[in-house]
Amino acid sequence: MHEMSIVLSMLDLAEHSAREEGASRIDAIHLEIGALAGVVPEALEFAFQGARDGTMAEAARLEVDYLPAMARCAGCEADFELDNRYGVALCPTCGTPSANLWQGRELHLAHLEVT
Amino acid sequence: MSQAPGTRDVALHAHGGVDGSDVRTVQVQKSLMTHNDGVAAENRARFGDRLVLNIVSSPGSGKTALMERTVADLADTLRVGVVVGDLETDNDAVRIHGAGAPSVQIVTGAVCHLEAEMVARAVDGLDVEHLDVVVIENVGNLVCPAAWDLGEDLRVTMLSTTEGEDKPLKYPRIFKDADAVIVNKIDIADAVGFERDAALDAIAKVAPTATVFETSARTGEGMDAWTAWLRERQAEKRTAIAGAPAGAGVAAERPR
């Protein structure tokens, strides 16, 4: 249940950013999370519901964009989406296994809506 | 309003909040790991030219047994210190200490992974100045530790022959980020029907650039290749840092 640690980091960063802008309340938190970030959406929401009381985000919505895992082939340099649930990065064109995962690990706070 | 370069861009869109007040959009564009990564960079600076490993695996794959033997095998020329993370008990730190290495236990309670701050606190008890290698044995878990940089140079992911050949396919992230993969308990591979080729194939698909070791921490089989690799990596880092211009420091992040 590392989602709780992630949510606590998120609330710290969100409150800090909102205060810097002189906001009094956070209305929405927009995240970008990679498909291989290891985050379970339900666990993230559950942790958020449990952790937000008493923060500026007490009444905020949590909106998450899940980003597909993308790799670049070491053989033919094609970009491709990892096309199975196991994240095996075999290039669909030439079959080369690729370690070069350039998207999919994101745990990113994109923007806030504040008042 | 101060404007930090590249991070702040406040758009004043009046799209009307629930109570009629103006809702503004604040661009943050930062990793949720920003704080952790900052502490990890501090850890990295503090470790200096010491080689630092972050060892991850599921519970029971033999991390502590492997570290006991690793510490003993390296002891002729290298001083190794170990940080051990567990949910409860200091049993593993006691075992490592018994093998002759200074060790510090991090009891995480309910927390399923180590974070850079926990390591920073633990390292206070380790006398890093007098070490050549620091091993961080993470909490046994193949999911949660993945996102937390602890300040290590090398991520080592272990599995054992009792766990099934497809583990790298089931937990791709933690294998994909590995610099080295260790297959442990090869002494009982036949008894448990371990299919070696299938396991190596799964590792090669998920982590094609990782260096693979096959070991038995119990019999010592395969330990030579693993400890020789560690000695090379340690010498390599020491040379790289000694040759770096003064004040250049080390990389702020472990390259992935």
Q: What is the ipTM of this complex?
A: 0.89
Under DSSP, is residue A52 helix (H, G, I), strand (E, B) or coil? Answer: coil
What is the spatial distance between Cα A15 and Cα A13, in angstroms, rounded to a whole number? 6
- A27 touching B, CB under 8 A? yes
- A10 touching B, CB under 8 A? yes
Spatial contact of A1 and A70, defined as CB atoms under 8 Å apart: no
Strand partners, A31: A64, A109
Mean pLDDT to the nearest integer, A9-32: 97
| pLDDT reported for residue B251 | 58
Q: Do B147 and A13 touch (CB under 8 A)?
A: no
Q: Do B31 and A23 touch (CB under 8 A)?
A: no
Tens of pLDDT, residues A56-100: 999 999 999 999 999 888 888 889 888 666 667 788 888 888 778
Higher-pLDDT residue of A51, B22: A51
Size of interface A-B (CB pairs under 8 A): 125
Eight-class DSSP state of B153: S
What is the spatial distance between Cα A56 and Cα A25, in angstroms, rounded to a whole number? 5
- B111 touching A, CB under 8 A? yes
Instruction: Supply B48's token pair.
Output: 């200096």
Give the burial string for A54-74 (b: 16+ CB within 10 Å, else e).
eebbeebebebeebebbbbbb
Q: Which of B240, B220, B250, B255 is nearest to B46 (CA)?
A: B250
Mean pLDDT score of chain A: 91
Give the ranges where B124-222 is alpha helix by DSSP (H). Answer: 167-170, 172-176, 196-206
| pLDDT reported for residue B7 | 40
| pLDDT reported for residue A93 | 86
Tens of pLDDT, residues B242-253: 987 765 555 556
| pLDDT reported for residue B13 | 47
Spatial contact of B227 and B195, defined as CB atoms under 8 Å apart: no
List chain B residues with pLDDT less than 50. 1-14, 16-17
| pLDDT reported for residue A86 | 60
| pLDDT reported for residue B78 | 96
Eight-class DSSP state of A97: B
| pLDDT reported for residue B10 | 45
Name B203's Cβ contacts closer than 8 Å, sequence gap at least 6: B168, B175, B181, B183, B210, B212
Q: Which of A52, A75, A48, A76 is nearest to A64 (CA)?
A: A48
Q: Do A12 and B35 touch (CB under 8 A)?
A: yes
| pLDDT reported for residue B84 | 92
Name B217's Cβ contacts closer than 8 Å, sequence gap at least 6: B62, B65, B66, B68, B69, B184, B185, B223
What is the spatial distance between Cα B147 and Cα B157, in angstroms, rounded to a whole number? 14
Q: Provide the angle, in degrees to the nearest 10, between the axes of the packed helices A3-20 and B34-47.
A: 100
Going from the C-alpha of A1 to that of each of A33, A38, A46, B8, B206, the distances in angstroms are 16, 10, 10, 31, 24
pLDDT above 70 coverage of chain A, percent: 95
The pairing of beta strand B24-31 with beta strand B10-11? antiparallel
For residue A19, give the chain B residue with the closest CA. Answer: B26
| pLDDT reported for residue B14 | 45
| pLDDT reported for residue B254 | 60
